[in-house]
Structure 1
Amino acid sequence: MMDLEKHIKQKPSDFVVEEVIPFSPRKDGQFQLFLLKKSSLSTLQVVRFLSKLLKIKPSDIGFAGLKDRFAVTTQYITVPSDVNIPDKLCFINKGGKWLKAESIDFGREQGFCMERVGFTDQKLQLGDNSGNRFVIKIRNIHKEQRKIFYHNLEIVKKYGCANYFGEQRFGSVKGRNDFIFLYLLKGDVEKALKTYFSIKGSLKHWGNWELFYRDLRGNLEDYEKDLILGLKRGLSFEKAIRILPKNVRLMFNFAFQSFLWNEYLRRYIESKYPFKRVNFIHSWKLSFYIEVYDIEYLKNLEIPYTGREYSVNDKLFKEIIREIIDKFGIKEKDFGKEVAGIKVLTDGLRKAVFFPQDFKIVGKTKDSITVSFFLPAGSYATILLRNLLS
């Protein structure tokens, strides 16, 4: 079976992402608009550093999407106009220490540069981008796999690609069904926190907060240190978890809802079309159709997250959603409930398929292919590549 990790992101420069926004910068406005280029850093790592540097809250910094960490990415961020920032700012991260720099070698160094490109009257929010342009080098692609790639590319050009959520959505999930969110929903906040910190290191000294802090200190963000020190001071687990930034707590909910949505789509495809099954993370599977007899219907189909606010007219989908929600023990009272200070299991719509635009082969060697393409906001290049390489 195809292992995506051996084909992409061997170097950050193998995976280049450029965000596209649907408006032009203005000459003045309530928010400064910066173009942020980063390498081997997550968007949130940069946002947390900037909030400390500029002495503002992380929530004051707006961005339209979370970009890959192990990649070279360009995106836009907004900062209130009354915050004093140089026109250009570069920092390198060396061993956890941030060092100011004149410029950065994005192919070799971990760091970021941001440059003011204008102003806007609206703070950027998640989803405000039009989409992203990608240039990706696919390595270790032998003769037989190259044939598979070109065969699958013809299918994608004709029928699009199933619009699954990619692995970036599941950073808080350690095992197959080990969702932090489900522990929170059941009220077991201690188990939720144990699962969260197990991703950081050993739980050997759980409960002895001084030793636990010592064991994990080198791997912790500042807010995670604050949480453990809060437990040491006698905070309850229920109060301590709220020390995690809201966007981190929201990720627990998003990870579970994204998993459910992926399962809806996988089951739907397997019920209607000829398909191939592909390995995903945590031994999960994704299924991609290889032929579609109702493409006009499918390309316009939008799938709800819960079906509570947005009704489901497709009878097959309605049945699948009900079965999967029942399987995980989700009750009517859980929808829109407040858990750990966030509203969970809320509804929304997501397109069932996407069509990559301007897909081009821009480079070839004996064992690699470099491709460029544009994807609409919310669609994942890693999902497209899993489809093309399987």
Structure 2
Amino acid sequence: MIEMPSLTRSKLDEELGMKFYATHSSGIGGVLRERDEDFIVIEVALGRVLCTPRDVSKLGGGEGEYTWFLLEKRGIDTVTALRAIARALGVSHKRLSVAGLKDAHAVTFQLACVKGVEPCELPKRVGDRVWIHRAFKMPFKLTPGMLYGNAFRIRVRRLEAGSTESEERIQRICAELEEVGGAPNYYGYQRFGTIRPLTHIIGRHVLRGEFEDAVRTLLTRIYPGESPRAKEARRYLASTWDFKGALEIFPRRLHHERAIIHYLVKHPGDYAGAIRTLPLSVRQLFIGAFQAYLFNLVLSKRLEAGLPLSRAVVGDLVALRRDGDLGSILRANESNLDKVNRLIASGRAEVVANVPGYSTTLAEGVPGAIEREVLAEEEVSIDMFRIRHMPELSSRGTVRPVALRPEDMRFEVIATEEGAAALFSFTLRKGMYATVLMREFVKPEDPAAQGF
């Protein structure tokens, strides 16, 4: 058993299931992403090749119908950047692909791919936020998940303490993370929405067949970061449930809300049909966010129960590592526990927990009791993820490591005209969130206002 974890300082963290920190030391405070260049993300390709203009040539190239290229973007999300490139090329955006989506409020470098376009046809720049640095032919398509992870260079400004005290706090937190085996590998803020973190709430309603509740949540719940016009429109609809009137005042940029309202004007009461007007990818995002929320709750209860992150206990699920990815899953029991923990200590395996779906096999022992408790509290079951009322959203489920352990972690505290600032650099494997690691160091009270 390990020491009782410290509670989060943030109401938002609690709402997203991220109830604890792995560390007890005071954070440094401060703000992330005050400028886009404060948050630099560099994709790490398979083979651990950094996707920078200097290093991407190590990936080789040759013949084939696919052109891969290095995409740099600033202050824009990946999907919007790809659509801009597609327009510049005069091709469908469906011909472009990436291995993973990158942060919008950041400077990011990543591989992208387009079919049937020669390297020489790619522009060097698209608008004032997108650049293409190098293009080369490959015989196969770049597909989601085809990466090792991401390297981060993060500047935290406006620290709450001076340089010396901030450096000491960071050192103490690093030592604590090393001692407990990493930070809890929560799904981060981006998974749930930044301005309106409610995708998991909608997902729960959809899973349970509560379509009117899903629609009401999506259309009328108000968050502080929204524009005055959006807040006014949501208040009007919540108080009147007048869809024709709402269509007149809902901002046109709220495409999903307007699509649902327009449908309900023509089909009153058909809330399931209204949800189906949304793109499949958006509806899948709702279910995925609820699965992420359940995982976060399980991980928080694991910490609360004093179970370790980097060591298995009886009943745990443990994944063998294979070329940086998760491989075969085994269950820890009394007879194999020592061997399993030796594999974990050597980096050849790690403790995982379920991201539940209809094919999920729950853990046993205390870890399994925690998973069952969370499902019962949320009034859902494994079988419900075979969504009979909307089968296209059904999900088999997966597993996810419980510990987030950064690689090549470095930091420096510097003095600036604005006060002390902290510079962090580290690499995370795919699917892990830099903001989840940074919350251990910053311990934000208001994650949204502090750039998380």
TM-score scaled by length of structure 1: 0.78
**1:311-348 deviation per Cα after TM superposition (whole angstroms, max 9, x unaligned):** 45551111100010111111343133255463334321
Residue 174 (structure 2) pairs with residue 153 (structure 1) = yes
- Rounded to whole Å, the distance in 2 between the matches of 1:171 and 1:177 is 7
Deviation at 1:165, TM superposition (A): 0.9
**CA RMSD in angstroms, aligned pairs only:** 3.5
Q: Residue 257 of structure 1 is aligned with which of 291, 296, 299?
A: 291
Paired residues of 2:43 and 2:111 also in contact (CA < 8 A) = yes
- Rounded to whole Å, the distance in 2 between the matches of 1:389 and 1:225 is 38
**Alignment length (residue pairs):** 355
**1:262-310 deviation per Cα after TM superposition (whole angstroms, max 9, x unaligned):** 11111112212599xxxxxxxxxxxxxxxxxx79758711212127645
Q: Residue 424 of structure 2 is aligned with which of 367, 371, 385?
A: 371
Decide whether aligned partners of structure 1 residues 343 and 331 sit closer, same or farther in structure 2, where only a CA change above 3 A counts: same
- Rounded to whole Å, the distance in 2 between the matches of 1:45 and 1:231 is 29
- Rounded to whole Å, the distance in 2 between the matches of 1:5 and 1:339 is 46
Letter in 1 for 2:408: D
- Rounded to whole Å, the distance in 1 between the matches of 2:258 and 2:69 is 30
Paired residues of 1:241 and 1:340 also in contact (CA < 8 A) = no
Deviation at 1:257, TM superposition (A): 0.7
Q: Which runs of 5+ in 2 are unaligned?
A: 1-7, 11-27, 48-58, 310-340, 444-452
- Rounded to whole Å, the distance in 2 between the matches of 1:22 and 1:123 is 14
- Rounded to whole Å, the distance in 1 between the matches of 2:245 and 2:63 is 51
- Rounded to whole Å, the distance in 2 between the matches of 1:5 and 1:237 is 43
Residue 56 (structure 2) pairs with residue 33 (structure 1) = no
Letter in 1 for 2:373: E
- Rounded to whole Å, the distance in 2 between the matches of 1:311 and 1:349 is 10
- Rounded to whole Å, the distance in 2 between the matches of 1:354 and 1:389 is 16
- Rounded to whole Å, the distance in 2 between the matches of 1:35 and 1:322 is 44
Decide whether aligned partners of structure 1 residues 5 and 60 sit closer, same or farther in structure 2, where only a CA change above 3 A counts: farther
Match of 1:62 in 2: 97
Letter in 1 for 2:440: N
Paired residues of 2:167 and 2:412 also in contact (CA < 8 A) = no
Q: Which runs of 5+ in 1 are unaligned?
A: 92-100, 105-110, 276-293
Q: Match of 1:342, SS? A: helix
Q: Residue 134 of structure 1 is aligned with which of 137, 147, 152?
A: 152
- Rounded to whole Å, the distance in 2 between the matches of 1:325 and 1:46 is 38
Match of 2:33 in 1: 9
Residue 355 (structure 2) pairs with residue 305 (structure 1) = yes
Decide whether aligned partners of structure 1 residues 186 and 160 sit closer, same or farther in structure 2, where only a CA change above 3 A counts: closer
Match of 1:329 in 2: 379
Higher CA-based Rg: 2
Match of 1:195 in 2: 217
> Structure 2 matches for 1:75-224, cutoff 5 A?
75-81=110-116, 86-91=121-126, 101=127, 104=128, 111-141=129-159, 142-143=161-162, 144-158=165-179, 159-171=181-193, 174=196, 179-198=201-220, 201=230, 202-203=233-234, 204-205=236-237, 208-221=242-255
Could you tell me the percent identity over the aligned residues?
24
Deviation at 1:9, TM superposition (A): 1.0
Greater mean alpha carbon deviation, residues 168-177 or residues 313-322: 168-177
Q: Match of 1:217, SS? A: coil
- Rounded to whole Å, the distance in 2 between the matches of 1:83 and 1:341 is 40
Decide whether aligned partners of structure 1 residues 160 and 178 sit closer, same or farther in structure 2, where only a CA change above 3 A counts: closer
Decide whether aligned partners of structure 1 residues 335 and 218 sit closer, same or farther in structure 2, where only a CA change above 3 A counts: closer
Decide whether aligned partners of structure 1 residues 50 and 252 sit closer, same or farther in structure 2, where only a CA change above 3 A counts: farther
TM-score scaled by length of structure 2: 0.68
